[in-house]
Structure 1
Amino acid sequence: MPILHLRPQRLTTKIDQVAGINYSLVAPLTAMADCLDGQLKGEFYNVAQPSPAPFGPPALAFPPDHERMVYLGFSDYFFNTAGLVYQQAGVLHLTVTDDMIPKGSKFRLTTTFLGALIPQVAKMFPNMTVQLNIWASSPPHLTMLPTGLVFTPALETQAFAVLPNSSLAPLFVLHLVSCSQAWVNGDLSFLLPSHRLLLELKHSDVGPFSVSLRPLVRLQKGFPLPLPANVQLFNLVLQSHQNFLLLGADVHYS
């Protein structure tokens, strides 16, 4: 039987010039004889123009396991409101130039390199570098399932040839839809078993050329998740469930 109830309060934190996080309690914080349960809103919002998300949070069904000191659940709603806020604010964009690519890479952002795929680029703009402007055309979407995670960002990429006077000559615009699937390992890492990329030519200033579906790519190496400073986690459990990730751990502060 509960022995303590704490009233919900509005709690927010501004994390940068664009977004803040609303982590207010959505139900009374309940202290039991052997645990403390709390439900937090977990929602990103635009600090300049706060408005409700056009979609609601999913219902979460936590497993009954209580063998670890701390359990944290992160719903896909939390990540999807972040994508919505940053995409609508227009900050999900990137400019890529050839000098940003490692010198030892075989891939180059030059008209000569692109000419191997699109011959008319090298003919119309010989021996020039290329600039890519990349932006999110819609909010990126993350789906959490018992079988893993599915991430589907949609991007627009415009390519330019950099002329000798540093002005830009437009080459083409591509629409990219990526679908990445990830398995969650219990050691705080993700394994990316598959990735699919759909390319569509939206506009070309160098004439028509073909684009196609990229084959399935398999990656065998996982990558670690970041942890707060001075925090050590033991007996880790990281699981993907319907609509949320569950992290369980024993905690030591140093």
Structure 2
Amino acid sequence: MSVDISANNIEMGLKGVFNNTQQHIEPPLSPPPAFSLASQRTNMFYIAVSAFTINSAFMVLHKTNVSNIRITDDMVPSVSPIRLSTTTFGAFIPQISETHPDLKLDLKVKTVKEPIIKFEQDHVILQLLSTVTAYDVQSDDIPHKLFVLDLESVASVQMSVEKGDLVFDLTLEK
């Protein structure tokens, strides 16, 4: 850690890396060279985070299976017109609604590889490889696997401030 103290400010350079407390694994990436921020006298506090720090967190989340989630219809707001059901997915896969009419679905989302974030000049890119497994929930409460989707997603996000609000412009690239 480096500290630079002047009459107007204190600057601290910290290496931000996330680790699994149970099993330390060094991230397979190299930390970036130190970077500096433009001097600002209007803000009391500001912070910058590198892609290295975020990607080390993604690596820990993936290795510890924390990023694996289960999504149920109960999690969808009741006002939503879209439900997690075979009827809804039947619009995309007609056989599901024919063979398993009007059943609720549980989705299990699992990352195949740790997500990667990249900061570029005017936007952020997020790459995500995951598997979504859909199970129907029948009256016996025993889930039955219906289908598996392998997803590769690449999204680009531009951030801006408009009228004091932080605005995100999300573009799904893939």
Q: TM-score range by the shorter chain?
A: 0.7 to 0.9
Please tell me whether the aligned partners of residues 182 and 190 of structure 1 are also in contact (alpha carbons under 8 angstroms): no
Pairing of 1:52-91 with structure 2 (within 5 A): 52-68=26-42, 69-91=44-66
**Cα pair distance change 1:73/1:99, threshold 3 Å:** closer
1:171 alignment partner, one of 129, 146, 152: 146
Partners of 1:99 and 1:193 in 2: CA distance: 26
Moved over 6 A (4+): none
Instruction: Give secondary structure in 1 for the equivalent of 2:59.
Output: helix
Match of 2:11 in 1: 37
**Cα pair distance change 1:188/1:51, threshold 3 Å:** farther
Instruction: Give secondary structure in 2 for the equivalent of 1:99.
Output: helix
- Which residue type is aligned with residue 47 of structure 2? L
| Structure 1 length-normalised TM | 0.61
How far does the alpha carbon of each residue in 1:72-113 deviate from its partner, in whole angstroms, 9 at most, with x for none?
221111111111001100111221122222233221222222
Larger displacement relative to structure 2 (182-191 or 133-142):
182-191
The answer to whether 1:184 aligns with 2:168 is no
Pairing of 1:1-254 with structure 2 (within 5 A): 25=1, 28-68=2-42, 69-186=44-161, 187=164, 189-196=166-173, 198=174
Q: CA deviation at 1:67?
A: 2.9
Q: CA deviation at 1:121?
A: 1.0
Q: How many aligned residue pairs are there?
A: 171
Q: CA deviation at 1:66?
A: 4.0
Which one has a larger percent helix, Structure 1 or Structure 2? 2
Partners of 1:180 and 1:116 in 2: CA distance: 25
Q: How much identity, in percent, do the aligned residues show?
A: 25
Question: Computing the radius of gyration over CA atoms, which structure comes out larger, 1 or 2?
Answer: 1
Larger displacement relative to structure 2 (110-119 or 47-56):
110-119
Structure 1: stretches of 5+ with no match in the other structure: 1-24, 199-254
| Structure 2 length-normalised TM | 0.86
Which one has a larger percent strand, Structure 1 or Structure 2? 1
Q: CA deviation at 1:63?
A: 4.4
Q: CA deviation at 1:34?
A: 4.5
**Cα pair distance change 1:157/1:193, threshold 3 Å:** closer
- Which residue type is aligned with residue 37 of structure 1? E
Instruction: Give secondary structure in 1 for the equivalent of 2:18.
Output: strand
Larger displacement relative to structure 2 (141-150 or 180-189):
180-189
